[in-house]
């Protein structure tokens, strides 16, 4: 599969002492990262709120897909280097799954082949300097539940996105993490979990993570 061709240059000389939380938009990555921060982990948050391109992208994906992906790639590489220097880091998404978005935009014609090729070249140059995380946490969710949560948090630029985009994104994520093998992985379906507000659900997720790390 293409995704793993792009990851073939990753440094396999051991794992970095970090957790990575991944999943589609609205799945609860930032919420879980904040919970893990309370457990003593050092957080590295996804660059959303200081991102000058993100909102523009949702209104004009053809114009802003390439600069947005380069912005994210640059920030994620910076974060992963910083996270590699500390113990018990936790990242809200990371560089590893970034190619999911880029490939989806290329396949839809919203990123040109030339832009995509340049993006992949940069990605492969960066990934040579990275080690896999000690645990990848994939939060799995249905499209309907993801859309419900996206609407609930109320970012206007996300609410205008057509359902087809979220369906494609979810499909690409599921395919990616079905094949993911560069590090230990923990998959948690969160359709019926509210670990932000229900203590029992929060403890369930924390226990799952502890169990996976214990292996």
Q: Residue ranges per domain, the chain?
A: 2-214
| CATH number at 2-214 | 3.40.50.300
User: Residue 25, CB half-sphere, CA atoms under 13 Å: how many?
Assistant: 23
Which of 80-94, 110-124, 135-149 is predicted with the least confidence, judged by mean pLDDT? 80-94
Q: Is residue 29 marked as binding?
A: yes
The angle that helices 163-179 and 98-107 make with each other, rounded to 10 degrees, is 130
Residue 39 is labelled as binding a ligand: no
* pLDDT tens column, 34-76: 999 999 999 988 766 678 898 898 889 999 999 999 998 998 8
Q: What is the mean pLDDT of the chain?
A: 90
Give every CB contact of residue 140 below 8 A, 6+ residues apart in sequence.
23, 27, 174, 177, 187, 188, 189, 190, 191
64: tokens are 């802003």
pLDDT computed for residue 157 by the predictor: 76
List active site positions.
92
Please tell me whether 195 is known to bind a ligand. yes
Q: Is there a binding annotation on residue 69? A: yes
Q: What is the pTM of this model?
A: 0.90
């Amino acid at each position: 599969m293409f995704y793993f061709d792009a990851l073939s240059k990753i440094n396999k000389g051991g794992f970095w002492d970090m957790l990575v939380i991944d999943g589609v938009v609205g799945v609860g990555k930032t919420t879980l990262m904040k919970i893990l921060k309370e457990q003593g982990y050092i957080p590295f948050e996804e660059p959303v709120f200081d991102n000058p391109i993100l909102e523009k992208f949702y209104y004009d994906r053809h114009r802003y897909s390439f600069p947005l992906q380069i912005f994210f790639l640059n920030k994620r590489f910076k974060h992963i280097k910083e996270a590699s220097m500390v113990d018990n880091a936790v990242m809200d998404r990371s560089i590893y799954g970034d190619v999911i978005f880029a490939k989806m935009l290329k396949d839809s014609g919203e990123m040109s082949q030339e832009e995509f090729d340049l993006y992949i070249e940069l990605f492969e140059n960066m990934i040579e300097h990275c080690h896999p995380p000690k645990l990848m946490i994939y939060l799995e969710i249905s499209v309907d539940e993801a859309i419900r949560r996206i609407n609930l948090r109320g970012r206007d630029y996300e609410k205008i996105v057509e359902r087809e985009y979220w369906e494609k994104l979810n499909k690409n994520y599921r395919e990616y993490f079905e094949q993911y093998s560069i590090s230990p992985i923990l998959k948690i379906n969160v359709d019926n979990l509210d670990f932000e507000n229900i203590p029992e659900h929060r403890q369930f997720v924390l226990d799952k993570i502890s169990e996976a790390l214990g292996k």
